[in-house]
Chains A and B, each alone.
Chain A
């Protein structure tokens, strides 16, 4: 069964460093999303992406964040200068035409 994959599973970084989180969506899906879940809190929408551009973003998704689909298979989330409050689990999701989003296993980001 096709699935969304994410790498790395855990990323530890120093405050102020750049991180790139990687996702491989399901191959025939065209809509991609990033969400985050701070420990003990609910899952929050960050950004949606379609046709090589951002279709919607939340207030959380400020200038420190960017997304890219560099090669037609990977979908990346970059945080330019990490802050302590960026520590969270980041989930990638992809959607086909049936309005059902499939989630990856997540990347746990720890900012020290």
Chain B
């Protein structure tokens, strides 16, 4: 069965510092991987996705993530945090054989200190 683990329910960084949000997954077939962001009282917005091809994917707002099959990881990074990055971030996995439903991790709340 698919599952997603996000290490750290809360991550706090200073403005301008590197952001690293960790995501590990389990899947019996090559998965599709996603990062979504949720701002307070809003829906989910896609940051980036990996389906096939280049393992380093770039998304919106300066975020990127690297698919590492050997480590079953898809960590999200941003070189320099901005106050507006404060939000909840969800990693998700889907498989073609399962209607492409998304299985989400438990989320990481990013706090950005001035």
Q: Are A43 and B51 in contact (CB under 8 A)?
A: no
Q: How far is the CB of A77 from chain B (nearest CB, A)?
A: 15
- The reply to whether the CB of B103 lies closer than 8 angstroms to some CB of chain A is yes
Bound-state CA distance A43–B92 (Å) is 10
Smallest CB-CB A-B distances: 3 pairs: A48-B99, A56-B99, A103-B44
Binary interface profile of B, 35-47, with partner A (CB < 8 Å = 1, else 0)? Answer: 0100000111110
Q: Are B100 and A99 in contact (CB under 8 A)?
A: yes
- The count of residues in chain A whose C-beta lies closer than 8 Å to any C-beta of chain B is 23
Centre residue among B43, B90, B98, B104 by max chain A CB count within 10 A: B43
Q: How far is the CB of B91 from chain A (nearest CB, A)?
A: 10
Q: Are A42 and B102 in contact (CB under 8 A)?
A: no
- The reply to whether the CB of B101 lies closer than 8 angstroms to some CB of chain A is yes
Q: Are B44 and A100 in contact (CB under 8 A)?
A: no
Enumerate A87-105 residues with CB–CB distance to B below 8 Å. Answer: 91, 93, 95, 99-105
Q: Would you mind naming 16 contact pairs between A and B with Cβ atoms under 8 Å apart?
A: A31-B100, A33-B102, A42-B105, A43-B90, A43-B92, A44-B104, A45-B102, A48-B100, A55-B99, A56-B99, A56-B101, A100-B46, A101-B46, A101-B100, A102-B46, A105-B42
Bound-state CA distance A102–B45 (Å) is 8
Q: A42-B90, A99-B49, A100-B49 are in contact. Are A91 and B103 (CB under 8 A)?
A: no
Binary interface profile of B, 45-58, with partner A (CB < 8 Å = 1, else 0)? Answer: 11001010000000
